[in-house]
Amino acid sequence: MSTVAVIGAGIGGLSTAIRAAAAGRKVTLFEAGPEVGGKLRQLHLGDYRFDLGPSLFTWPALLQDTLASAGPNAAPFDFLKLDRSCHYFWPDGTRFTAWSDRTKLTEEIQTTFGMDPEPVLQHLDSSQRGFEATRALFLEQSLHESSNWRPKVALPHIRKALKSWRDLPLTRKLNDWNRKTGHPQLQQLFNRYATYNGSDPFRAPAMLHVIPHLEFGMGTFAPIGGMHAIVDALHRTALNLGVDIRTNAPVEQIQVSSGRVQGVVHSGNQTFEASVVVSGADVTPTYQKLLKGHGQPHRILNAEPSTSGVIFYWGMQHSAPELHLHNILWAQDYKAEFQALFAGKTIAEDPTVYINIGSKTSPEDAPEGAGNWFVMVNAPAGWDPQGIDDLRQRIEKKIEAMTGIHVAEHRVCEHILTPKDIAARTGSHQGALYGPASNAPLSAFLRQRNRDRRIKGLYFAGGSVHPGGGIPLCLLSGRITHELMTQHDPIQ
Ligand SMILES: Cc1cc2nc3c(=O)[nH]c(=O)nc-3n(C[C@H](O)[C@H](O)[C@H](O)COP(=O)(O)OP(=O)(O)OC[C@H]3O[C@@H](n4cnc5c(N)ncnc54)[C@H](O)[C@@H]3O)c2cc1C
């Protein structure tokens, strides 16, 4: 029997544990915190329920696939397809709804921006072609296994990608590529997709233009029961499969002998033997704390972190009819916002404000006529929360100016999460939301590999490693890691 120790019960750890247990391995999952979910935990404040981390759910087929790998042990999970992805508000009063339906979207572009919608529709088609051409090569397999680059395996993918070469802007920056939309406000809208992996659209490669296809082409969704239902489904499936889930059980060391993992030391010096160890914890503390004394991958550890965030969770006694599930109140100067974040290591004076109101699709999460507001601004990883009161005031003023809602009059409760809190709660390096940023042209190749090259039996899953951060990519990391485990550490 193959014994697997998984470190961390985030999406990456849980999904790897499910696939490994479903394949017949004996899996023990060690979670440092009091409950599973990692960044996707929840919070109750009086009559309000909040999802602490992710609020946007895309590419649900990956979650369904993970659950289906458990066969009859899969817990039920259900979701709605949304008719729009986001409501956008600009300081000049422009408002735009990103409808899922292409005809409605076309009309909205015409009426809002008074322009021919064709360049935007072509931009979206290019996003789809770019996504389809690269997903198998760059997202759905390891980039770091020589076996995946054997001509027989790689050539069909490369041929497919080459057919769409016009949609693969390898040498351009995302901001330049998005000029093709033909309108500065739409350029800004498409630039925001760089933040889906915590990057800077003015430096990030234009290859990130494949991300909008996830929303505009595949759709945005809302899990029934809120985002936490994702964790619930994964958790229950893992339990049904017999995964031994231990909470309040921090791993302190990964034991290695003769170049092979032997198990882990956890919960105050207790040892646990395992032939395979999967770290679903952030790669930086995994090496710096759990693998002290072993070779450290300096390039990975010195990589520029992705952005973090400051999130205000507000119980609001206001129905906010002009707001939907996802709302963006733009910064006046988007470029200045990213300069502040990455060069200035601070939050912009006028930051873009994201308001998510989960109760718009899960009414049970707030009293009738009220809303559970999740209000987030981008922050540099490691941001010092000293200026939090000033930030709150600036955000309230912006919301009032752009929506007419006077926050302080309606707010009945509050909780705040800063980059430091995110780091403390999830072990994420400096509280970065998505591991390293993708600001460099070859970022996809520069992330931590899913199988350690030097230590046999050691694997990595989750948002700080390949293929990247966010729920869909974390689920893919679980699948890739499990496939590598099957290949390199087959069940004895
Ligand atoms: C505020 C916020 C908003 C976000 N918005 C979105 C969004 O809208 N859509 C989206 O797709 N993604 C979003 N993300 C990103 C997404 O949440 C993450 O990419 C994903 O949840 C990360 O999962 P993970 O498996 O890497 O691990 P994490 O969720 O980071 O979990 C790691 C787990 O490992 C545990 N751990 C760490 N060290 C140890 C140890 N030594 N021993 C035992 N356990 C340990 C931690 O306690 C934690 O539970 C957001 C994240 C945040 C914080």
What digits encode the pLDDT tens for the residues 222-236? 999 999 999 999 999
- The residue whose CA is least distant from atom 19 of ligand 1 is 470
Max CA separation in the chain (angstroms): 67
Q: Residue 340 in contact with residue 382, Cβ under 8 Å?
A: no
Confidence of residue 303 (pLDDT cuts 50, 70, 90): very high
- Partners of 187 in the beta sheet? none
Ligand 1 atom at shortest distance from the alpha carbon of 376: 1
For ligand 1, atom 50, the nearest C-alpha belongs to 54
Residue 309: which H helix or E strand, with range? Answer: strand 308-316
* The model scores a pTM over 0.95: yes
List all residues whose CB is within 6 A of at least one atom of ligand 1. 7-13, 30-33, 38-40, 53-56, 250-251, 280-281, 309, 311, 422, 426-428, 433-434, 462-463, 469-471, 474
| CB contact burial 458-480 (16+ within 10 A = b; e otherwise) | bbbbbbbbbbbbbbbbbbbbbbb
Domain-by-domain residue ranges, the chain? Answer: 3-36+225-303+436-488, 104-111+119-217
Q: pLDDT of 182-208, one tens digit each?
A: 999 999 999 999 999 999 999 999 999
Q: What is the pLDDT of residues 11-38, one digit of tens each?
A: 999 999 999 999 999 999 999 999 999 9
- Output the pLDDT for position 492: 84
Q: What are the pLDDT digits (tens) for 64-75?
A: 999 999 999 999
Burial class (CB in 10 A: 0-12, 13-18, 19+), 250: buried
Distance of CA 327 from the midpoint of ligand 1 (Å)? 23
Q: Which of 11, 39, 355, 376 to mutate to test the pocket of ligand 1 (most atoms within 8 A of CB)?
A: 39
Could you tell me if 439 and 203 are in contact, meaning their C-beta atoms sit under 8 angstroms apart? Answer: yes
pLDDT band, very low/low/confident/very high, at 435 (cuts 50, 70, 90): very high
pLDDT in tens, 377-389: 999 999 999 989 9
pLDDT at 446 over 90: no
**pLDDT confidence of residue 2:** 83
Confidence of residue 1 (pLDDT cuts 50, 70, 90): low
pLDDT tens string 309-357? 999 999 999 999 999 999 999 999 999 999 999 999 999 999 999 999 9
Share of the chain above pLDDT 90, in %: 92
Determine which residue's CA is closest to atom 36 belonging to ligand 1.
8
Checking if the pLDDT of 149 tops 90, the result is: no
CATH class as words, domain 3-36+225-303+436-488: alpha beta
Instruction: Give the distance (Å) from ligand 1 centre to CA of residue 36.
Output: 10
